[in-house]
Amino acid sequence: MKVLMFGWEFPPKIYGGLAVATYGITKGLSVQGDVETTFCMPKPCGDEENFLNIIGMNQVPIVWRDVDYNWLKDRLAPGMTPELYYDLRNHIYADFSYMHVNDIGCMEFAGGYPSNLNDEINNFSIIAGVVARQQQFDIIHAHDWLTYPAGVHAKMVSGKPLCIHVHATDFDRSRGKVNPTVYGIEKNGMDYADCIMCVSELTRRTVINEYHQDPRKVFAVHNAVYPLPQEYQDIPRPVHDKEKVVTFLGRITMQKGPEYFVEAAAMVLKRTRNIRFVMAGSGDMMNAMINLAAERGIADRFHFPGFMKGKQVYEVYKDSDGFVVPSVSEPFGIAPLEAMQCGTPSIISKQSGCGEILTNVIKTDYWDIHAMADYIHSLCTNPALFQYLQEEGKKEVDGITWEKVALKVRGLYDNVLRNYR
């Protein structure tokens, strides 16, 4: 089976859970032996793993340029060959000479989430038309709303079925204050999709109720985690006898509910001063959270180390006695699973999709800062509770694998192809 997949992120460059999930799914599909995935993304960094074919959309021509083979070989980024470039060039389907392109007839992408994101989404979709005409594939898989237009375009060009993967909706990102443009892109993608994969039952219900989709084509496909590499397993876990450490790690944005973590911390610190709180990450609410901690008089017990990546993330997990995810709306949320892999008990909001598959965690409503504070205090003062959640949580998470997720994805592919007209 050949899959043409569209995504906005892929490791090693990670902006959030989307990159982790697309890696897990594609890696899981690759071990099945008979699935070949071509993954199209805006701007590869060149260090991606080679278990799948990667096409950088910034290397796909949309305007004809007569370029020398040897010069082109030096000009193209790793992963794109002159032969593939010339073949893609032969499938340019319209006159795009009015668009801003570079010396090889390609559009540039900033990578990530720039201020002109809507323009980049549109450009990505235009380029998808070239790729879909040139590539041979059986099914299309588009991850998250940014690539839905590309997936729809590829379906219209090829006549092949479209699966879309809903990692979040704008109802999650905006606390209900939905952007009409984003909603329109999301709904159009869902309307055209033959199969909609959602990262949780919570998200599935949102898709059915808010986007008015047929329940028969909407499925929950929960995320997972990969086993920790030995390098991360070997990170020492400090013993905090005098002071405990409780951590929030993620985007400091409205969706993640950081203010509830600060308020709960303030309540805990009225009972004991032997706990330090860490808010690791970055986002548009960071300055507001620094000010809130100061207003509550806990700035001396509250730390903001900034954005973490790679091994740093796991060092933070290992250095924590509790991990708190007070998300207002979290379609899934991989971070608690990662923390539990490291032996750190987690407290998650009942509004988190990962709670559907996790038993050995503490669950509370995101807004219930009194309960959150009680649970944080208990974790830090009750060694038996800590040990139980540490041991049982790790066992539970070790059984949640991307290979199992990929088998479900493959089953949905097969079902779509059997029934596709």
Check residue 416 and report its DSSP letter.
Answer: H
Strand partners, 322: 246
Class of domain 230-398: alpha beta
Cβ–Cβ contacts within 10 Å for residue 32, how many?
A: 13
For 208-224, what is each residue's pLDDT tens digit?
A: 999 999 999 999 999 99
| Rounded mean pLDDT, 247-261 | 93
pLDDT score of 308: 87
Q: Is the pLDDT of residue 14 over 80?
A: no
Q: Exposed/middle/buried for 38, CB within 10 Å: 0-12, 13-18, 19+?
A: middle
Extended strands (E) in 352-408: 362-364
Contact (Cβ atoms closer than 8 angstroms) between residue 401 and residue 409: no
The pLDDT of 117-137, averaged and rounded, is 97
Tens-digit pLDDT profile for residues 260-301: 999 999 999 999 999 999 999 999 999 999 999 999 999 999
Instruction: Give per-residue burial for 357-372: e unless 16+ CB within 10 Å, then b.
Output: bbebbbbbebebbeeb
What pLDDT shows up at residue 353?
87
Q: Give the residue among 56, 45, 59 at the shortest CA–CA distance from 12.
A: 45
Residue 152 has pLDDT above 90, yes or no: yes
Q: Which CATH superfamily includes the segment(s) 2-224+402-419? A: Glycogen Phosphorylase B; (3.40.50.2000)
- Report the interhelical angle of 258-268 vs 286-295 (nearest 10°): 20
Amino acid at 36: E
Cβ pair 330, 255 in contact under 8 A = yes
Q: pLDDT class for 16, splitting at 50, 70, 90?
A: confident
pLDDT, tens digit (0-9, with 9 covering 90-100), for 313-325: 999 999 999 999 9
- The residues of the chain that CATH labels 3.40.50.2000 are 2-224+402-419, 230-398
Taking the mean position of all CA atoms in its chain, how far away is CA 413?
21
CA–CA gap between residue 332 and residue 198 (Å, rounded): 9
The Cα–Cα gap between 225 and 335 comes to: 9
